[in-house]
Amino acid sequence: MSRTKDRKVIALAPIEIDADPEMRPLEFGLISRLFTYTRPYKNSRNALIATVILRALQLPILTWGIGRIINTTIYNGDVIQLIQDVSLFGLMALFTEITFHYRMKLALTLGELVVHDLRTEIFEHLHRMPMSFFDKTKLGKNIARATSDVEAIRTGVQDVFFISMIQFGQLAVSALFMLYYDWALFLIVVLLAPIIWGINKYFRVRISKSTRRSMETWSMITATLSESIRGIRVTQGFVRQGTNAEVFRGLVAHHANNNYGVARSTAVMFPLLEFNQMFFTAALVLVGGYRVLSTDFHLPVGNLIQFIFLSQLFFGPIRVLGEQYHQALTAMAGAERVFALLDTKPDWEDKPEAVGITSCSGHVEFKNVSLAYDGKTPVLNDINFTALPGQTIALVGHTGSGKTSIINLVSKFYLPTSGEVLIDGRNILEITSRSLHQKMGMINQTNFLFTGTVMNNIRVGKPEAKDEEVEAAARALDTFDALSALPNGFQTVVKEQGTGLSLGQRQLICFTRAMLADPKLVILDEATSSIDTITEARLQKALHLLLKERTSFVIAHRLSTIRHADLVLVLDAGRIVERGSHNSLLEIENGVYSRLYRQFSEA
């Protein structure tokens, strides 16, 4: 029964809120490291601190001023004095708000500057990492470092520290004032403060928990929606609309209940805090009134009024500090993750003594090369072969046989665990990655395109190329007509992930891109998809032109490509099991290649 029910779920939504904790205790190391990011802007930071100190004093003074005017000047009915006092109060208010203006502007700007610098640092750091790093970490996590985590840090930098300072100042100054006016009333305040703090803390934890639950169902809703829309053809083709709608209704109801849960926490918290406030005022009226009226104390009535004002100045910060504390913990968690990323050392970097190559003939040699991505399980074992300049090397074998690994080594995306990869007789370790990549043209299976025009996508191969050069490259590959025939020719805009272009068109762009780079080494992971025969023929022709007189490594899925290769390496479980030309390999009776070939030709 439960099985059938499970099946109705349109999508078991991927909930990606896994290991990343939302909060982290305050840690001095992290704080001081964050603080170093404000160092380049120390003038505005110091100015900010000055405004913060000013404000911590100004606010209690203003409040005290109101009370003072009411309980002395007005109380005594001195009109002249009143005008003077009120004008003074106005000036003070103006001064306070001017300070506030600078305090806000400086804080916001400082936050943005720090965030900007962090983002740049993260981006540059990520681009220093070798490929192995990207195989291990998910794209979404790396993006989260530069977005949500950095945003958490922003609040930490621009708000938490400075607002807390101001609020502490207010708290302290107003406490001193209150203590000065009446110690007994202050005692009530002191007793209530921890209760308010406790309520705040308790409910903040509850709210953050229920918010998390609500976020989880929310991510299920968006994931389900996205699948429903992408799979709409399947849904309508299989007449599932009714079932899906029922499932979605369940999800939405679940989410609504979670939101209701969030509301429940706030619905208890705020009235409770308000009740506290009311309780406090009542206590003031009672105790304060008693102390005013009783002959033992003779508390002036003005002091009581001062108290009512000042107590608000005291309780406000408790609430705000609670919020800021919560924010601080979130910022800590963000900072911890960002710094952990920035502290990740690349598994390897170019040796300092590595040199840039200026020319390259395209002679590639593998000498006893082995590779284990995790350092233990070898994916390549004792690989030996030589590619002469201009040769095409076809790599053939089942998925997981090690074709991609060989390509990864030639392009120095990975370093061999043992053995040597030599380019023009020089160990690849002694060549800078950059100079090597400048001699290389790469076409990967996904035919990755950037958003932007077709022209700019081709220019990836040679950023400084003029339009004419791009067109010349397209003519040389005989792709010019096909690319000109796009809706806006070379200026056609490629949308995210190449949508809007057919697979064949994307491949033509990638071929032209590689051609423009005019590489000595071509690395091609052939797309597996078959395209209609005419387009296919055109691609083969372009490919033939591209590979001519260049050393190339091709993960081949097409017979014609293999047939044109000078050397076919047949891989199985990380070893070269057969090698030779297409024809010579076919002669091996019951050989791996002839078996593979039979499958090809039978299909």
Partner 1 sequence: MPRQWGGADLRFGSSMAEPGASWGKELSNREVVIRLLKIAWHYWGTCLLLLILQGVLLALFLAAVELTSVGIDFIHHKIRPSIQPPRWPFYFQPDATWTSTEVLVVIALLMVALGLIRGVLNFWYKMKEADLIERQVMFDLRSGTYDKLQRLNFSFFDANASGSLINRVTADTRAMGTFISMVVIQTVILFLSLLFYFGYMMSIHVTLTLACLSTIPLLYYLSSRFSKSVRDDYAKSAELADTMVLTLSESLSGISVVKGFAREDIEKEKFQAINCHVRDQKKSIFNKVSLFTPSVNFLSHINIIILLAYGGYLMSKGEFPLGQLVVFVGLLQQFAGQVQNLSNITNTVQQNLIGARRVFEILDAPIEIANQPNPLPLKKARGSIEFKNVTFGYKHAEPVLENLSFEIKPGQCVAVLGPTGAGKSTMMSLIPRFYDPQEGSVTIDGLSAKTLDLEDLRKSIGIVFQENFLFSNTIAANIAFGHPEATQGQIERAARSAIAHDFIMNLPKGYETVLGEGGLTLSGGQRQRLAIARALLLEPAILLLDDATAAIDAQTEKEILEAMDHAMKGRTTIIVAHRLSTLRRADVVFVMEHGRIVQAGRHEDLLNSEGHYQRIAELQLVDAKNLYNSAETKS
Residues 446-505 that bind partner 1 (CB under 8 A): 448, 450-451, 460-461, 463, 496, 502, 504
Residue 233 touches partner 1, criterion: CB under 8 A = yes
Residue 230 touches partner 1, criterion: CB under 8 A = yes
The single residue among 2, 32, 36, 533 that binds partner 1, judged by CB under 8 A, is: 533
Only one of the segments 171-179, 324-332, 418-426, 535-543 lies at the binding site for partner 1 (rule: CB under 8 A); that segment is 535-543
Residue 440 touches partner 1, criterion: CB under 8 A = yes
Q: Of 383, 360, 364, 362, which is closest to residue 372 (Cα–Cα)? A: 383
Residue 297 touches partner 1, criterion: CB under 8 A = no
User: How many Å apart are CA 95 and CA 307, to the nearest integer?
Assistant: 24
Interacting positions 131-160 with partner 1 (CB under 8 A):
131, 134, 139, 142-143, 146-147
The SS3 of residue 99 is helix
The single residue among 30, 160, 304, 428 that binds partner 1, judged by CB under 8 A, is: 304
Instruction: For residue 246, give the amino acid letter.
Output: E
* Paired tokens of 567: 């050397």
CB of 158 to partner 1, least distance (A): 10
Residue 352: phi, psi to the nearest 5? -60, -30
Residue 495: phi, psi to the nearest 5? -85, 180
The SS3 of residue 441 is strand
The single residue among 278, 340, 485, 493 that binds partner 1, judged by CB under 8 A, is: 278
CB of 207 to partner 1, least distance (A): 13
Site string for partner 1, 94-133 (x = CB under 8 A): x-xxx-xxx-xx--xx--xx-xx--xx--xx-xxx--x--
The residues facing 554 across adjacent strands are 394, 524
Residue 355 touches partner 1, criterion: CB under 8 A = no
Residue 238 touches partner 1, criterion: CB under 8 A = yes
Residue 359 touches partner 1, criterion: CB under 8 A = no
* Nearer to partner 1 (CB atom), residue 375 or residue 463: 463
Instruction: For residue 54, give the amino acid letter.
Output: L
Largest CA distance in the chain: 120
Q: Strand 364-371 to strand 380-387: parallel, antiparallel, or no bridges (unpaired)?
A: antiparallel
The SS3 of residue 368 is strand
Q: Strand 452-453 to strand 440-443: parallel, antiparallel, or no bridges (unpaired)?
A: unpaired
Residue 411 touches partner 1, criterion: CB under 8 A = yes
* Nearer to partner 1 (CB atom), residue 230 or residue 466: 230
Residue 386 touches partner 1, criterion: CB under 8 A = no
* Paired tokens of 476: 């040389």
CA angle 260, 264, 270 (to 5 degrees): 135
* Paired tokens of 280: 């406090």
Q: Strand 426-427 to strand 418-423: parallel, antiparallel, or no bridges (unpaired)?
A: antiparallel
The single residue among 203, 413, 480, 553 that binds partner 1, judged by CB under 8 A, is: 413
Only one of the segments 173-181, 279-287, 333-341, 342-350 lies at the binding site for partner 1 (rule: CB under 8 A); that segment is 279-287
Residue 602 touches partner 1, criterion: CB under 8 A = yes
The single residue among 271, 297, 475, 488 that binds partner 1, judged by CB under 8 A, is: 271
Residue 212 touches partner 1, criterion: CB under 8 A = no
Residue 308 touches partner 1, criterion: CB under 8 A = yes
Residue 286 touches partner 1, criterion: CB under 8 A = yes
Residue 438 touches partner 1, criterion: CB under 8 A = yes
Residue 180 touches partner 1, criterion: CB under 8 A = no
Residue 555: phi, psi to the nearest 5? -80, 105
The SS3 of residue 383 is strand
The single residue among 62, 195, 372, 422 that binds partner 1, judged by CB under 8 A, is: 62
Size of the site for partner 1 (CB under 8 A): 168
* Nearer to partner 1 (CB atom), residue 34 or residue 514: 514
Torsion sign (Cα): 457, 463, 467, 471: negative
Site string for partner 1, 557-576 (x = CB under 8 A): x-xx--x-------------
The single residue among 7, 42, 345, 376 that binds partner 1, judged by CB under 8 A, is: 7
Cβ count within 10 A of residue 530 = 11
The residues facing 426 across adjacent strands are 423
* Nearer to partner 1 (CB atom), residue 30 or residue 517: 517
The residues facing 567 across adjacent strands are 393
CB of 171 to partner 1, least distance (A): 20
CB of 603 to partner 1, least distance (A): 5
Nearby residues of 391 by Cβ (< 8 Å), 6 or more positions away: 551, 552, 566, 567
* Nearer to partner 1 (CB atom), residue 115 or residue 332: 115
User: How many Å apart are CA 210 and CA 206, to the nearest integer?
Assistant: 6
Instruction: For residue 78, give the amino acid letter.
Output: D
User: How many Å apart are CA 201 and CA 325, to the nearest integer?
Assistant: 9
Residue 89 touches partner 1, criterion: CB under 8 A = yes
User: How many Å apart are CA 270 and CA 250, to the nearest integer?
Assistant: 31
Residue 90 touches partner 1, criterion: CB under 8 A = yes
* Paired tokens of 15: 């909930």
Site string for partner 1, 67-86 (x = CB under 8 A): --xx--xxx-xxx--xx-xx
CB of 388 to partner 1, least distance (A): 22
Residue 40 touches partner 1, criterion: CB under 8 A = no
CB of 490 to partner 1, least distance (A): 19
* Nearer to partner 1 (CB atom), residue 382 or residue 566: 566
User: How many Å apart are CA 279 and CA 290, to the nearest integer?
Assistant: 16
Q: What is the SS3 string spanning 326-377?
A: HHHHHHHHHHHHHHHHHHCCCCCCCCCCCECCCCCCCCEEEEEEEECCCCCC
- Residue with token string 């104390």: 297
CA dihedral 570, 572, 577, 578 (to 10 degrees): -20
